[in-house]
Amino acid sequence: MEPGVIRKLDEVVVNRIAAGEIIQRPANALKELLENSLDAKSSHIQVQVKAGGLKLLQIQDNGTGIRREDLAIVCERFTTSKLSRFEDLAQIATFGFRGEALASISHVAHLCIQTKTAKEKCGYKATYSDGKLLGQPKPCAGNQGTIISIEDLFYNMPQRRQGLRSLAEEFQRLSDVLARYAVHNPHVGFTLRKQGDAQPALRTPVASSRSENIRIIYGAAISKELLEFSHRDEVFKFEADCLITQVNYSAKKSQMLLFINQRLVESIALKAAVDSVYATYLPRGHHPFVYMSLTLPPQNLDVNVHPTKHEVHFLYQDEIIEKIKQQVEARLLGSNSTRTFYKQLRLPGAPDLDETQAADKTQRIYPKELVRTDSSEQKIDKFLAPLIKIETGVSFSSPQEASPLPEESFRVTVAKKSREVRLSSVLDMRVRVERQCSAQVRSILKNIVYVGCVDEFRSLFQQETRLYICNTRSFSEELFYQRLIYQFQNLSEITINPPLPLKELLMLSLDSEAAGWTPEDGDKAELAASAAEVLIKKAPIMREYFGLRISEEGNVESLPSLVAQHRPNVAHLPVYLLRLATDVDWEHEARCFETFCRETARFYSKLDWREESAGAHSRWTTEHVLFPAFRKYLLPPTRLKEKIFELTNLPTLYKVFERC
Ligand code: ADP
Ligand code: MG
């Protein structure tokens, strides 16, 4: 048999197929046209529709108009007045300019443009087919601005036409797109009209406001429940302007109006994150109304993942989404009416934890953390004997395999979630962390792969083709510090059961070398008693803000849980407590939080390496707990740069091997 002849597809057909990818239904065309009119600085935009936009979709604006000499080429592919060099694609302040919209439309519909600029005396009318101007533009009367008429959409793609649902549904989609742009652009007056109808289907006034437009379009039930807020983030360089319903409102239908850099887009991840916040408060199957406008540095945005530019990806997506989630949650809890609602929901039995923390709840502290060898710590062993007994017979390999201790030993209780932090001292600490964050180190951390531990202090990790060594202790200390200030007032607790007597712990700490006690310092028992007194007096602060509980009788009942699955090394608990009494500035609020967090972070960052099996556990923790947490949470301050060192990279290694 003869082989089939390979023919080059007709160019017109190729273009039509490409255009059909971009314009999949009337609503896609409308979105492009609205964006063009807005880009042209219009203050009035009127849309007329016949048969769901398939017979006619016409948009009239009062923007800049198109110059006569440009009419010949506006419908060629890749012609745009908005970018001229490839590099502009990344730099241009808005996105979506690929000069494809009008060209695409002209391949799948009859397109006519009537336009007049301020300079020209009269307007011009031009018709297009398959990307080309038909004949010459004809002079005509008209006001400044542009009228774009699209007739018989998909006349040359019968299958596409058939594939569309009802005309009513197409109209609904057109109306939905217009509604969203109207909310986002309240300074512009929009009208949507079905041809022949006396009344417009939708109309918003010029110089309106977002909430007013939401009222007009979506109804007062939504607009009166709106909570407005903006958030500017210095670290990830984004701004969010939001209007979200309070939890008193809910609907079966989920509505999220999302704009990124002024373009209507969708983000499944962001929507899921916002929904998850509301899920705690709304009845099952009910949703909020959310309007959100994000502004990101354009170079961080990748719009070309999808031909309709509907779906976008952006740099630091996870972090940004997490931040927005926190904001939404904080705002919901901040509003008073919500608070009562929140309390109602917190009746016994109501779920009050998110999944990660739920997992945390079943964690137990691991046996080997309690087994010590050196002298002062031997005493700790003796002292902690009841706990150690519980462990006898537990063979330990990795925490996952370790048999859990009996219920009554150590347990994590999840804090009542998400109390909004209003203390400016803490907010200041956060701002400082965010200001000091090195974007460079952060971007390295974002996709590091753990390689191995060198010793107690150092680990190796890989990022792309580079191999680094870092100071694990410095990194984890910073991590724990940041967790304390970001989870402030919301920390889960590691319950210590039975509780440990504070005074005896303090006595033990005075025995340790770290305390550096000498007889001149005074009687040990007296010192321990006065340190205990300080801590008992300050217990409410530690309990309220940090989840560290010391009872009035002087028992240590719980410690904060800073990172899921991480437990501090109890051997260092006595010295930690002593330092809390002596080194924390309890008098001044800001200093108090700062010194408390630093001491706590230091305590938590000490892993145990003294024994073979303890070392194995610490390796496990470094790989499975600390490194994932670095990736997820750590905002590395610039000074941590000194704690990372690039050992080698692939190109260098290639050079080495080439010589061999
Ligand atoms: P892009 O918007 O990516 O530049 P389009 O195909 O959507 O590509 O539009 C091509 C060009 O036509 C635009 O760059 C702009 O100069 C011009 N244009 C389109 N619509 C309008 C309008 N309503 N008013 C003024 N100029 C317009
Ligand atoms: Mg455009």
The 10s digit of each residue's pLDDT in 61-113 is: 999 999 999 998 888 766 666 544 444 444 443 344 456 789 889 999 999 99
Model confidence band, residue 212 (pLDDT cutoffs 50, 70, 90) = very high
Cβ–ligand 1 distance for 102 under 6 Å, the answer yes
Q: Is 640 exposed, middle or buried (0-12, 13-18, 19+ CB in 10 A)?
A: buried
pLDDT (tens digit per residue) in 466-494? 899 999 999 999 999 999 999 999 898 88
pLDDT (tens digit per residue) in 529-582? 999 999 999 999 999 999 999 999 999 999 999 998 898 988 889 999 999 998
Mean pLDDT of the region 389-415? 34
- DSSP letters of 169-233? HHHHHHHHHHHHHHHH-TTSEEEEEETT-SS-SEEE-TT--HHHHHHHHH-HHHHTTEEEEEEEE
Comparing 253 with 418, which gets the higher pLDDT? 253
Q: What is the DSSP letter of 642?
A: G
| Ligand sitting nearest the alpha carbon of 35 | 2
Given a cut of 80, is residue 179 above it in pLDDT?
Answer: yes
Mean pLDDT of the region 626-647? 91
244 neighbors 281 (Cβ within 8 angstroms): no
Q: For residues 409 and 494, what is the distance between their CA atoms, to the nearest angstrom?
A: 10
Average pLDDT, the chain: 81
Pocket probe for ligand 1: among 32, 39, 78, the residue whose CB has the most ligand atoms within 8 Å is 39
Cβ–ligand 1 distance for 145 under 6 Å, the answer no
Of all residues in the chain, the percent with pLDDT exceeding 70 is 79
Q: For residues 210 and 377, what is the distance between their CA atoms, to the nearest angstrom?
A: 64
The whole-number pLDDT of residue 565 equals: 84
Atom of ligand 1 nearest to the CA of 32: 7
The whole-number pLDDT of residue 136 equals: 93
Taking Cα atoms as reference points, which of 263, 215, 231, 308 lies closest to residue 93? 263
Structure tokens at 491: 């920390």
Atom of ligand 1 nearest to the CA of 146: 23
**pTM score, two decimals?**
0.56
The whole-number pLDDT of residue 498 equals: 84
The whole-number pLDDT of residue 350 equals: 29
Model confidence band, residue 347 (pLDDT cutoffs 50, 70, 90) = very low
Cβ–ligand 1 distance for 62 under 6 Å, the answer no
Cβ–ligand 1 distance for 97 under 6 Å, the answer yes
Mean pLDDT of the region 292-299? 88
Cβ–ligand 1 distance for 98 under 6 Å, the answer yes
Q: Which residues, other chains included, contact 628 with Cβ-Cβ below 8 Å and sequence gap of 6+?
A: none
The whole-number pLDDT of residue 42 equals: 97
Q: Which residues, other chains included, contact 349 with Cβ-Cβ below 8 Å and sequence gap of 6+?
A: none
The whole-number pLDDT of residue 164 equals: 87
Cβ–ligand 1 distance for 37 under 6 Å, the answer yes
For residue 354, report the phi and psi dihedrals to the nearest 5 degrees: -90, 175
Cβ–ligand 1 distance for 147 under 6 Å, the answer no
Cβ–ligand 1 distance for 61 under 6 Å, the answer yes
Of all residues in the chain, the percent with pLDDT exceeding 90 is 46
Among protein residues, the one whose CA lies closest to atom 12 of ligand 1: 74
The whole-number pLDDT of residue 155 equals: 94
Among protein residues, the one whose CA lies closest to atom 23 of ligand 1: 37
Among protein residues, the one whose CA lies closest to atom 1 of ligand 1: 99
Model confidence band, residue 192 (pLDDT cutoffs 50, 70, 90) = very high
421 neighbors 333 (Cβ within 8 angstroms): no
The whole-number pLDDT of residue 52 equals: 96
Given a cut of 60, is residue 371 above it in pLDDT?
Answer: no
70 CA distance to ligand 1 middle (Å): 10
Q: For residues 287 and 290, what is the distance between their CA atoms, to the nearest angstrom?
A: 9
Given a cut of 60, is residue 511 above it in pLDDT?
Answer: yes
Given a cut of 90, is residue 509 above it in pLDDT?
Answer: no
148 CA distance to ligand 2 middle (Å): 12
Given a cut of 70, is residue 411 above it in pLDDT?
Answer: no
| Ligand sitting nearest the alpha carbon of 113 | 1
Q: What is the 3-state secondary structure (H, E, C) of 412-476?
A: EECCCCCCCCCCHHHHHHHHHHHHHECHHHHHHHHCCEEEEECCCCEEEEEECCEEEEEEHHHHH
Mean pLDDT of the region 44-56? 97
Model confidence band, residue 628 (pLDDT cutoffs 50, 70, 90) = very high
Cβ–ligand 1 distance for 128 under 6 Å, the answer no
261 CA distance to ligand 1 middle (Å): 18
Among protein residues, the one whose CA lies closest to atom 21 of ligand 1: 36
98 CA distance to ligand 1 middle (Å): 10
Q: For residues 138 and 150, what is the distance between their CA atoms, to the nearest angstrom?
A: 18
97 CA distance to ligand 2 middle (Å): 6
Model confidence band, residue 152 (pLDDT cutoffs 50, 70, 90) = very high
Cβ–ligand 1 distance for 303 under 6 Å, the answer no
Cβ–ligand 1 distance for 114 under 6 Å, the answer no
Among protein residues, the one whose CA lies closest to atom 4 of ligand 1: 80
Taking Cα atoms as reference points, which of 604, 542, 594, 602 lies closest to residue 568? 604
Q: For residues 233 and 299, what is the distance between their CA atoms, to the nearest angstrom?
A: 17
The CA-based angle 422-423-427, given to 5 degrees, is 90
Q: For residues 372 and 393, what is the distance between their CA atoms, to the nearest angstrom?
A: 17
Cβ–ligand 1 distance for 64 under 6 Å, the answer yes
Given a cut of 80, is residue 390 above it in pLDDT?
Answer: no
The whole-number pLDDT of residue 287 equals: 93
